[in-house]
Structure 1
């Protein structure tokens, strides 16, 4: 009986001591880890980003639940969804959302199609390959504002715009490209495709060049033509490149405010080109409807997340995340 008690006393005495030593060892290991030792370098930028970016997003979300109009400090005593209900009932919001959807789908699909076509031509080895690649990549080096000023001159009404010079040369009347609601959105999409189709071309070209070359040889042995080889064998393997390029292009379409603002020159674009970003800025900065503008900004953020989330899920399933 005495021996048993002594054993229990010894286990009781040594157990906490061993746990304490193990806890101290883990703490010492954590404090000496690269994560902690590098914290002076990444901690402050991470804190500033958290306050400036995520803090701003959170404050914008809180503002959207109020009726703040920019006159005094916002009151958070009563929060509701009134601004979101107002947006869904607002004809201007619905029109901007529809035009944003048309811009997103039209710009993305045309850029992907043109980029894939150019990538296949370059991969096939056409003449002046480097020249064509440089020409289509050059617009990517320009900002939205510079591109907008260039196309503003191209679309200039009357006989001063370059496009109208071509139109009048063939005996037609000058066209108001940006003032006509039936043409303005198509004109904007065309300008954006001109700028970003080179990006899609580079993404697809990288995907094509990463594929093994023996697939072409095997297809030739089987008697397949070059067109059938690309359509049935090569292009279907570009799924990951297609998804990645589509996500980036859709995000560009959602944040095209600076392009539209620069090409129209005011807060109210002509009918047919108003999107959620321009509506948000106009409601907040021109009309002082800060809570309404914050609600539109929140919904625009949710749309961006809806674009990115499926891509992240796709990348995770592919083992890239």
Structure 2
């Protein structure tokens, strides 16, 4: 199952962002610390035109700290890029972000000009929560569902920084199908657009490999299941997700697993590492080249 979700307003957002970018000094891209690559929109790199960017790894309290450090190092190696893991609701974390913004925009503050900062990010990574925290008041509407912000708005922080909020944008097609599954597992894709069992099985497959101890402890499993499907059934049975006749309600069990993973009840987990993503991208490129070679061979035969 390929997870895709691209409401019409996101297309409009892309155009508005492109038009506003020449006036922007600094970009903040809010990412989900559990899946920094998959929650990075390739359009951000295209639209920011090499302006300085702060990659905010939000929800770091839900992510594996060792993996978050790997991702911060990965992003910091990129041109004009600064990674900052944080929790959007934590005021001390927001002070660090504000200090970094002022440092990167020091050429504007020296001239007593405002640092014009655009905040970007896909749905449900905590972008609006971050803006409200920086503003110290309720500015941007927040919600557990993605795509709450629908239009651009300017927010003067009264500290030499002016924020431009943008709607959350996803891209029409995921180059890496795994990214679609991870986004759905994290809650970035509307639940109405996903198959719970499909996504939960994918997530459990990752957890069995990367965090078997957390999985076994949370659900009090006597033995580690051999497959994701078996894990889903075992969890459903353990948690009483049953239909009449003792039949396991796999949909209910899937909802349980996804909600507990999203909320951190399972523990601090990351859904991808830089190494894993590089392997996936290499496999995609190899498949693409193989398809091109096959097409060329067939054309020559014809």
TM bracket, shorter-chain basis: under 0.3
Q: If each structure's strand is expressed as a fraction of its own residues, which one has the higher value?
A: 2
If asked which structure has higher relative contact order (CA below 8 Å, sep 6+), I would say 1
